[in-house]
Amino acid sequence: MTSQRYYRLGDTGAAVAEIRAKLATLGLLPADEATMGSAAMADAVFDAQVDQAVRCFQQQRALTVDGVVGPQTYRALDEARWKLGDRILQYSVSHLMSGDDVAQLQRRLLDMGFDCGRVDGIFGKDTERALREFQHNVGLAPDGQCGPRTLKALSRLSRTVVGGEPYAMRESEMIHQAGPSLHGKTVVIDPGHGGGDRGVVANGLEEAAVVWDLANRVEGRLAATGVQAYLTRGVEGELDEVARAHFANATGADLVISLHVDRHRNPVANGVAAYYYGNDRFGHHSAVGEKFAGLVQREIVARTGMLDCLTHERTWDLLRRTRMPAVRIELGYLTNPGDAARLADPGFRDTVAEAIVVAVQRLYLPPEDDAPTGMLHLPELIK
Ligand SMILES: [Zn+2]
């Protein structure tokens, strides 16, 4: 991602004008921004007001709230301008359509019981299949295109029917059908960053190296339980999150675990947190992602005594674009001397690796066979 631009407080120029205009369209800045002349555009400033508006937008969208417009925030700004009915939606292999209008369509299909998979705002094959099914059901030509006729049928029907959430049920059913044995399951482990991107560098440690080592410890333990484990990158690999998600999808994995450590300006900030796909805005989250995040969070906290920073919904690319439950663990703050000292300790990394593998096992165990948090040990799992 090094070639991508990042815009932040103090930046100026035409790109900043574009960001201001997008924020104005969304009602986060005064409306006159959208009609700025070209001379004014070159002088556009990323000021405190823009910083505040960007943070507000990131908060709404379950993105990292840092006030910086990087690739993900920029794409989210772009997607936010579409409302259902603005354009014809359809599946396109070469370039999947994405935007809020797609998410609105998915939400309506799901509410009526047509299983389009995740409400992720990306018009993929599952969305097309669900749309065709809907069209067939209401007597329209099932062409898989969401145009004027389909929209009319959608608005006529969707207000009257509010169903469950088939995706959440299907996800949970998949876990149940997969059975309790780890043997034969596939897990993708994603060591964050890599190559020229070292992630957080603080207290003599580099995030890319710490999570690489941890990923290998997790991989070894998973392999011992019969799991087919893949790492998204090699020791020197450099991949963006979209490429990592594509890799995970290509393996057909059951689960994705992404490993990171966090940073904060305040060295006192510390603790572990876990993230799964979800966006309140669209009233949707990954039920199994949430469950696994909770399990892994509780196992790590119980075994290490780290501060519990809880689990949260996010729309980060790796969580959004993977087709299977995915969880990102932020294992402490490298900027905190206490967390950093623990992360430097191979014994601590072993404890965390064990906690993660036990959480994987617990995800597949039926409730009656499950043991209390912190009680399962690896030798019991390798049967
Ligand atoms: Zn990271």
Average pLDDT taken over every residue of the chain: 89
For residue 80, the model assigns a pLDDT of 94
For residue 75, the model assigns a pLDDT of 93
- Whether residue 288 is predicted with pLDDT greater than 60 in this model: the reply is yes
Q: Name the band, by pLDDT with cuts 50, 70 and 90, for residue 327.
A: very high
Q: Which of 175, 121, 170 is nearest to 321 (CA)?
A: 121
Task: Give the Å distances, CA to CA, from 344 to 141, 207, 314, 336.
Answer: 61, 11, 28, 12
- Whether residue 3 is predicted with pLDDT greater than 50 in this model: the reply is no
Which of 43-47, 115-119, 243-247 has the lowest average pLDDT?
115-119
Ligand 1 midpoint to CA 342 (Å): 17
Ligand 1 midpoint to CA 199 (Å): 5
Ligand 1 midpoint to CA 209 (Å): 11
Ligand 1 midpoint to CA 51 (Å): 22
Ligand 1 midpoint to CA 331 (Å): 10
Ligand 1 midpoint to CA 218 (Å): 17
Ligand 1 midpoint to CA 70 (Å): 14
For residue 366, the model assigns a pLDDT of 75
Distance between CA 180 and CA 363 in Å, rounded? 8
The arithmetic mean of pLDDT across residues 120-138, rounded, is 94
Ligand 1 midpoint to CA 191 (Å): 9
pTM attached to this predicted model? 0.82
For residue 378, the model assigns a pLDDT of 62
Ligand 1 midpoint to CA 56 (Å): 22
Ligand 1 midpoint to CA 364 (Å): 28
Ligand 1 midpoint to CA 330 (Å): 8
200 versus 116: the higher-pLDDT residue is 200
Ligand 1 midpoint to CA 189 (Å): 14
Q: Which position has the token pair 């990592």?
A: 244
Which of 34-48, 136-150, 153-167, 358-372 has the lowest average pLDDT?
153-167
Distance between CA 321 and CA 327 in Å, rounded? 12
pLDDT for 331-382, tens place per residue?
999 999 999 999 999 999 999 999 999 999 999 887 766 777 777 766 555 5
Ligand 1 midpoint to CA 53 (Å): 24
pLDDT for 79-89, tens place per residue?
999 999 999 99
For residue 296, the model assigns a pLDDT of 97
pLDDT for 164-181, tens place per residue?
556 666 777 777 788 888
For residue 383, the model assigns a pLDDT of 43
Ligand 1 midpoint to CA 299 (Å): 21
Instruction: Give the tokens for residue 200.
Output: 């957080």
Ligand 1 midpoint to CA 297 (Å): 17
The alpha carbon torsion through 126, 127, 129, 135 (nearest 10 deg) reads 160
The arithmetic mean of pLDDT across residues 130-150, rounded, is 94
Ligand 1 midpoint to CA 192 (Å): 5
The arithmetic mean of pLDDT across residues 187-196, rounded, is 96
Ligand 1 midpoint to CA 259 (Å): 8
- Whether residue 208 is predicted with pLDDT greater than 50 in this model: the reply is yes
End-to-end Cα distance, the chain: 43
For residue 38, the model assigns a pLDDT of 67
35 versus 49: the higher-pLDDT residue is 49
Ligand 1 midpoint to CA 16 (Å): 26
Ligand 1 midpoint to CA 344 (Å): 16
Ligand 1 midpoint to CA 260 (Å): 4
The arithmetic mean of pLDDT across residues 253-263, rounded, is 97
Ligand 1 midpoint to CA 211 (Å): 9
Ligand 1 midpoint to CA 4 (Å): 17
Exposed, middle or buried: residue 321 (CB in 10 Å: 0-12, 13-18, 19+)? buried
For residue 36, the model assigns a pLDDT of 63
- Cβ pair 357, 221 in contact under 8 A: yes
Q: Which of 270, 274, 319, 333 is nearest to 300 (CA)?
A: 274
For residue 250, the model assigns a pLDDT of 93
Task: Give the Å distances, CA to CA, from 124 to 27, 100, 117, 323.
Answer: 29, 14, 9, 11
The arithmetic mean of pLDDT across residues 141-157, rounded, is 91
Q: Residue 146's beta-bridge partner residues?
A: 89
Ligand 1 midpoint to CA 229 (Å): 21
121 versus 178: the higher-pLDDT residue is 121
CB atoms within 10 A of CB 40: 11
Ligand 1 midpoint to CA 57 (Å): 21
For residue 253, the model assigns a pLDDT of 95
3-state secondary structure the chain: CCCCCCECCCCECHHHHHHHHHHHHCCCCCHHHHHCCHHHHHCCECCHHHHHHHHHHHHHCCCCCCCCECHHHHHHHHHHCCCCCCCCECCCCCCCCECHHHHHHHHHHHHCCCCCCCCCCECCHHHHHHHHHHHHHCCCCCCCCECHHHHHHHHHHHCCCCCCCHHHHHHHHHHHHHCCCCCCCEEEEEECCECCECCCEECCEEHHHHHHHHHHHHHHHHHHCCCEEEECCCCCCCCCHHHHHHHHHHHCCCEEEEEEEECCCCCCCCCEEEEEEEEHHHCEECHHHHHHHHHHHHHHHHHHCCCEEEEEEECCHHHHHCCCCEEEEEEEECCCHHHHHHHCCHHHHHHHHHHHHHHHHHHHCCHHHCCCCCCCCHHHHCC
Ligand 1 midpoint to CA 195 (Å): 13
- Whether residue 1 is predicted with pLDDT greater than 50 in this model: the reply is no
Ligand 1 midpoint to CA 262 (Å): 6
